[in-house]
Amino acid sequence: MTGATGNMGVPLVRELCRLGREPRVTTRNARRANSLLPEGVDIAEGDLTEPEFLDRALRGVDKLFLFLEAGDPVRVLEAAGRSGVSYVVLVTSLLAETRPRSFVGRFALETERAMWEGGFRGAVLRPWEYASNTLAWAREIRDGDVVRQPSAGLASPVIAPEDVAAVAARTLLEDHDGRTYALTGPAEVTAVQKVRALGTAVGRELSFQETADPELLEKIRTSPEEVAESVGVCFMESPGVRSTVRDLTGRPPRSFGEWALDHAESFK
């Protein structure tokens, strides 16, 4: 399993351990992984871009959980093919569907193609924006009552990484061969609503201040997708709310407000 110490990785490892599995996880920092993950997890420390480490980490593995930031994921897939991995769950991004020509969309599609052409059984998860991206606002919230960000006022059906993890556990432990799942949270929320929910979670009244310059936004609106991303402004049209989390896990995805309450300590 790659990405095991991340926002969705930690809940996924916990869920697999709860179900009696013993995942082997890769990390570049075993000490940190040890502090985040349950006891008994098989931790392989190393760099996924090093072929010897990759071969060692993959020895004896039959199922691989792979995400896009895992060094060079296509290389990881090639090594997995050589070492006899038969089933892969690959996490990419819903931008593969909504913005296939953007940098992330193209990278996601290329990696997905490499997985299917590699002859693996398995499934692709395409999540939308994670609720945990707002952790980037934590310092601003600790230091004051206003979050200043560009948002263009767009609403987005953010998903709790814990719900991506719940779907990942299902797709790893059951047979979902050939499936591609688009994952979103239960409702579209704007940056203003996110900040309000974070305020409720930390017990303070917070406000949001738009910092995107209207002229720049208009330029982005009419520019190629690459430009829209390169200026770093969150300007993604909502993909709409999808029912996949509920369909696969039998329960509704967490709202942004629920995620904020669960993670309030990170903003205090």
Residue closer to ligand NAP (CB basis): 43 or 85: 43
- Residue 127 as a binder of ligand NAP (CB under 6 A): the answer is yes
Measured from the CB of residue 51, what is the shortest distance to ligand NAP in angstroms?
14
For residue 96, count CB atoms less than 10 angstroms from its CB and return exposed for 0-12, middle for 13-18, buried for 19 or more: buried
- Residue 56 as a binder of ligand NAP (CB under 6 A): the answer is no
CA–CA dist 10, 28 (Å, integer): 15
Size of the site for ligand NAP (CB under 6 A): 26
Which window, 26-34, 81-89, 168-176, 217-225, contacts ligand NAP (CB under 6 A)? 26-34
- Residue 147 as a binder of ligand NAP (CB under 6 A): the answer is no
Give the tokens for residue 63: 């199922």
Q: Which residues contact 260 (CB under 8 A, 6 or more apart)?
A: 131, 134, 194, 197, 198, 200, 201, 267
Give alpha helix (H) positions in the chain: 9-18, 30-36, 51-58, 73-83, 95-98, 103-117, 138-143, 161-173, 191-202, 214-221, 225-230, 244-249, 256-262
- Residue 70 as a binder of ligand NAP (CB under 6 A): the answer is yes
Q: What angle do CA 53, 165, 7 make, to 5 degrees?
A: 70
- Residue 207 as a binder of ligand NAP (CB under 6 A): the answer is no
CA–CA dist 42, 23 (Å, integer): 6
- Residue 130 as a binder of ligand NAP (CB under 6 A): the answer is yes
- Residue 29 as a binder of ligand NAP (CB under 6 A): the answer is yes
CB count, 10 Å around CB of 104? Answer: 18
Residue closer to ligand NAP (CB basis): 129 or 205: 129
Interface residue with ligand NAP, options 102, 132, 134, 149 (CB under 6 A)? 132
Measured from the CB of residue 104, what is the shortest distance to ligand NAP in angstroms?
8
Residue closer to ligand NAP (CB basis): 147 or 158: 158
Which window, 5-13, 168-176, 201-209, 244-252, contacts ligand NAP (CB under 6 A)? 5-13
Site residues, ligand NAP (CB under 6 A): 2-9, 27-29, 33, 48, 67-71, 91, 93, 127, 129-130, 132-133, 161
